[in-house]
Amino acid sequence: AFYADFGNPDDLVQALEHGFVYRGQRSAFRKRPHGTPTDGLVPRQFVMCLQNHDQVGNRPTGERLATLVPREALPPLATLLLLGPGLPLLFMGEEQGETRPFLYFTSHTDPDLARAVSEGRRGEFISEAKEVPDPQAEKTFQDSRLARGGDEALREHYRSMLAMRRRHLPVIASTWPRVRREGRAFRLERPGLTVTVNLGPEAALGLPGWGWEVSPR
């Protein structure tokens, strides 16, 4: 239900320019004002991510980002994360395009607690069409382990963007970008660094679908 507060592309503009999307405006999910102003704060004081263990593990069947978006979307998303504001958090396996799920798993030894967790997990998603894996089952844990190998081309893209981040770290850490949006494409402008990513299949901001561009390199 908390996803209802997000989904408009302009929300991403707010996050990129200010760190938080909600800085005191009303939240539909919470039915009250939410968040605090970020005036005076700098990008290095924020942690940004594309996915994390809470978002993935709390989905009914633990789908990672790589199974929810086209493969072509992963390089521009990585570019946005690694050259955008904030300290980037990489969720394990993200850099290799991991598609195995990260399920909610537990190993409680107290039988009453174990039963309560299993029943609670099923009850939380009672309306979902898919069967929810039992968090206490060994298979749930085994199914969540990373696959060997992965997408080497994507891994190399992460390496390249991290190297570029190191070169431009002073401005990335201290300066919020000015963001221009066209459709699902976003251009982040900071002194000496312009990053453009297209997070959609249609051409926008001079880029093809799923394209990305950094200047200077």
**What is the pLDDT tens value at each position of the chain, 217 positions in all?**
778 899 899 999 999 999 999 999 999 999 999 999 999 999 999 999 999 999 999 999 999 999 999 999 999 999 999 999 999 999 999 999 999 999 999 999 999 999 999 999 988 887 665 789 999 999 999 999 999 899 999 999 999 999 999 999 999 999 999 999 999 999 999 999 999 999 999 999 999 999 999 999 8
Write phi, then psi, for 194 (nearest 5 degrees).
-125, 125
Q: What is the C-alpha to C-alpha distance for residues 17 and 24, in angstroms, rounded to an integer?
A: 16
CB atoms under 10 Å from CB of 158, counted, come to: 22
Q: What is the C-alpha to C-alpha distance for residues 48 and 113, in angstroms, rounded to an integer?
A: 34
- The answer, as to whether pTM is greater than 0.75, is yes
Nearest to 19 by CA among 36, 3, 5: 36
